[in-house]
């Protein structure tokens, strides 16, 4: 008799575990969707120079590394937009991936960007990583950002590159 009760309990626990897996998957799917929506909100805010929205989205301890290697705090990032030292006129995103690690979302993407940074053109293709932290309040805040410009080199048959960079060096055995 005791064994029959034990069997029912173990089936019940197994059934609960089976129900928890789809719920966890659903929760992760919802979180990824939220972060993807925030990426679009950030893109629109940048294009509009909307520092009020940007300020709400950035954490107080935000650190960003710009496309030019400049390190910015939240205040510095917002100031660059307010003072129109950074003006973005086009941001087209592709190849976006959202990876959830606990209360952190890591976003990687490719962006076609047009605009200026301190009067210098930033037109080109960039890869970036943006990190969001999910707060106990339920909000996601951007805590970190880094962008790198993609460089595409086209090679002639003789190994010389079109853009003047040195030809690739053959690996030594």
Closest CA to 42 of 55, 24, 54: 54
> Is 164 part of a structural domain of the chain?
no
Q: What pTM did the predictor assign?
A: 0.73
User: How far lies 16's CA from each of 4, 9, 11, in Å?
Assistant: 19, 11, 9
Token readout for 171 is 């690996």
Round to whole Å and give the CA distance between 114 and 121: 7
Round to whole Å and give the CA distance between 93 and 104: 21
- Predicted confidence at residue 117, as pLDDT, reads 87
- Whether residue 127 contacts residue 97, with contact meaning beta carbons closer than 8 Å, is answered with no
> Is 130 part of a structural domain of the chain?
yes
Residues of the chain with pLDDT below 50 are: 1-21, 155-156, 160-173
- Predicted confidence at residue 12, as pLDDT, reads 43
> Is 141 part of a structural domain of the chain?
yes
- Predicted confidence at residue 69, as pLDDT, reads 85
Please report where in the chains the tokens 């460089």 appear, as a residue: 151
DSSP class of residue 166 equals P
- Predicted confidence at residue 126, as pLDDT, reads 94
> Is 99 part of a structural domain of the chain?
yes
Token readout for 45 is 């805010």
> Is 12 part of a structural domain of the chain?
no
- Predicted confidence at residue 122, as pLDDT, reads 86
The DSSP bridge partners found for residue 67 are none
Q: What is the CATH number of the domain that holds 113?
A: 3.10.450.50
Which structural domain range is residue 132 located in?
29-149
The DSSP bridge partners found for residue 147 are 128
> Is 73 part of a structural domain of the chain?
yes
Token readout for 25 is 């998957």
- Predicted confidence at residue 23, as pLDDT, reads 56
* Domain count for the chain: 1
């Amino acid at each position: 008799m005791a064994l029959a009760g034990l069997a029912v309990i173990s089936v019940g626990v197994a059934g609960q575990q089976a129900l928890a897996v789809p719920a966890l998957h659903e929760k992760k799917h919802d979180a990824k969707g939220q972060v993807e929506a925030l990426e679009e909100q950030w893109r629109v805010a940048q294009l509009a120079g909307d520092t009020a929205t940007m300020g709400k989205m950035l954490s107080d301890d935000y650190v960003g590394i710009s496309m030019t290697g400049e390190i910015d705090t939240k205040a510095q990032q917002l100031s660059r937009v307010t003072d129109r030292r950074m003006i973005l006129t086009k941001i087209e995103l592709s190849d976006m991936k959202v990876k959830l690690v606990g209360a952190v979302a890591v976003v990687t993407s490719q962006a076609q960007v047009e605009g200026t940074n301190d009067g210098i053109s930033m037109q080109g293709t960039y890869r970036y990583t943006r990190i969001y932290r999910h707060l106990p309040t339920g909000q996601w805040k951007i805590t970190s950002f880094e962008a790198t410009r993609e460089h595409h080199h086209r090679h002639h048959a003789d190994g010389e590159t079109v853009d003047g960079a040195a030809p690739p060096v053959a690996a030594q055995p």
